[in-house]
Chains A and B, each alone.
Chain A
Amino acid sequence: MIRTARAPRAPGAVLGAVLGALVLLAAACGKEGSPPGKGPAAGKLPHYQVDRNFRLPASGTWTRAKRRGYFVVGAKEDQPYLGEKDPATGTYSGFDIEIARMMSASLGLAPQSVHFKTIASANRETALQNGQIDYYVGTYTINANRKKLVGFAGPYFMAGQSLLVRRDENDIHGPGDLGGRRVCSAAGSTPYQRIRADYPKAVLVGYDTYSVCVDNLLTYQVDAVTTDDAILLGYTAKAPGELKLAGRPFSREPYGIGVPRSDNALRFALNDALEARQRNGDWKKAYEATLGLSGVPAPHPPPIDRYPAPDGRTA
């Protein structure tokens, strides 16, 4: 395939040199810090009081985390102001991340000590089942099928499918106005399928990630982006001068904290912790520092769903 019968040394040597040069180049020059971001500067993040006397020996997950000294939490890495990983620094930020940190504080471990791990949507159950992560906070909708595989604390946020449009858009107020307009969503996702089934007049465009949809919205290639409002709020917070949410949510997606199914003690403890954080205002502060940057005021947190332990097992 490399047909240089006369000079067999040349291509490899050249290639090696080029590769080496690239690596050297990368190592030689580089600006410190991370590239500047878009949108308003991140709000001042709340400080969470750590409950130093918290003990939960009934929970295997908690006991392991306590011995380790930190929680390992699964999260998303590509949802601005919800669960986003800064490529340059590797740090996570967003509302889901704040929820994970305040839970850690309530369970007796410093909120800054949490180790986040990106878990793709398809692998969430697996990661919880095989102990890769202690709990999962990342736009995880509670539903009956998933309850067969994992446990859910919360919900900590009531999301719902909604529409994201450009700020100057005045004709779209709900999914009913989508006839003939181009709507973008993640191909194959639940919101995508709902539009296809319930609003067949809309012209659907499917991409792999929502960020491409939003980019297309800003460049006038599509007229709306649809998915859970929490995700859309995050994008609005990135560009509040250019984007807005249209109409009311047209589905209910209660976001829960995923825990291993058998660890009811952890689930009950997280429920209590969530309720306490909602009562003392930390929940609201976390919202205002992240998704609140979109200009949409904090909603009322949803009531906690304290379903009993499955299989007759007790905590």
Chain B
Amino acid sequence: MNVLTDNFSLYARGFLGTVELTVYAGLLALALGFLMASFRVAPVASLRAFGTVWVTVLRNTPLTLLFFAVVLGLPRFGLVLPFRVFAVLALGCYTSAFICEALRAGINTVPRGQGEAARSLGMTFGQTLNLVVLPQAFRSVIPPVGSTLIALAKNSAIAGAFSVTELLGTYKTLNELGYDIVWTFVWIALGYLIITLALSALFHALERTWGVAR
């Protein structure tokens, strides 16, 4: 029980580490995912191919292998960055493939007629995209993007094994200090529950505000 009170700062550091990883990797994943999704629906064949390869490869790569390749492989090209940055890179790229698919599915849920109607009203491509298609797509992608980001928060635990401070990694220090290992893990589990439940609550709220029943 006193594992938590004795080591609160250690737990807090781990917890914040996980949150930080999730936030940065999440932003990277959203940006990259958006880019890839736009590639995948672009009228240019080579961009579409690139998007498809990106998604297919990353979705079928084990995250541990990706971490291995990024953390141990990239320095071989003279790219020496802090482990935290590598972790954000690996998590962000991996998650971007799933985000991309969620966004693309969202765009595809908008009926063709909507775009046709918009164009027949004389809207330009930008207007069609920004005023008609994206607002509708946005609503239907909230749940899948939410679950992808929750998965990201959970996947960030792998970073602990690659020398990044995060929640799961705190068990090593506490085990070395001789604390009761079961309680150590109880508090770690609670930390993850807080993060995943908070994310899920956030996206439920978003969906209530913006989502539509179709």
Contacts and interface: CB of A to CB of B under 8 A. Distances in A.
Interface of A: 1-3, 122, 125-126, 145-146, 148-149, 186-188, 205-209, 212, 216, 221
Contacts of A209: 72
A216 B80 CA distance: 11
A225 to B, nearest CB: 14
A145 B78 contact: no
Nearest to B83: A187
B52 A3 contact: yes
B52 A125 contact: no
Interface residues of B, number: 19
A125 B175 contact: yes
B176 interface: yes
A243 to B, nearest CB: 20
Contacts of A2: 56
B162 interface: yes
A208 B163 CA distance: 7
A260 B52 CA distance: 53
B71 A208 contact: yes
Given A1-B101, A221-B78, A148 B178 contact: yes
Q: Considering the complex of A and B, which 9 residue pairs feature the smallest CB-CB distances, nearest first? A: A187-B163, A148-B178, A188-B163, A122-B172, A187-B83, A208-B72, A145-B176, A1-B56, A149-B178
Contacts of B83: 187, 206
Given A125-B175, A187-B163, 18 more contacts: A1-B55, A1-B56, A1-B59, A1-B101, A2-B56, A3-B52, A122-B172, A126-B175, A145-B176, A145-B177, A145-B178, A149-B175, A187-B83, A207-B75, A208-B71, A209-B72, A221-B78, A221-B80
Contacts of A221: 78, 80
A122 B71 CA distance: 19
Contact of A212 (B72, B78, B163): B72
Nearest to B59: A1
Nearest to B48: A3
Interface in B61-108: 71-72, 75, 78, 80, 82-83, 101
A146 B175 CA distance: 9
Contacts of A212: 72, 75
Contacts of A3: 52
24 contacts: A1-B55, A1-B59, A1-B101, A2-B56, A125-B175, A146-B176, A148-B178, A149-B178, A186-B163, A187-B83, A187-B163, A205-B80, A206-B83, A206-B163, A207-B72, A208-B71, A208-B162, A208-B163, A209-B72, A212-B72, A212-B75, A216-B75, A221-B78, A221-B80
A226 B209 CA distance: 56
A186 B163 CA distance: 9
Interface string B107-133: 000000000000000000000000000
Contacts of A148: 178
Contacts of A206: 82-83, 163
A149 B82 CA distance: 32
B97 to A, nearest CB: 9
Contacts of A188: 163
A126 B78 CA distance: 37
Contacts of B177: 145
Nearest to B86: A208
A59 B210 CA distance: 68
A148 B59 CA distance: 44
Nearest to A3: B52
A122 B169 CA distance: 10
Contacts of B80: 205, 221
Interface string B137-179: 0000000000000000000000000110000000010011110
B182 to A, nearest CB: 13
A206 B83 CA distance: 8
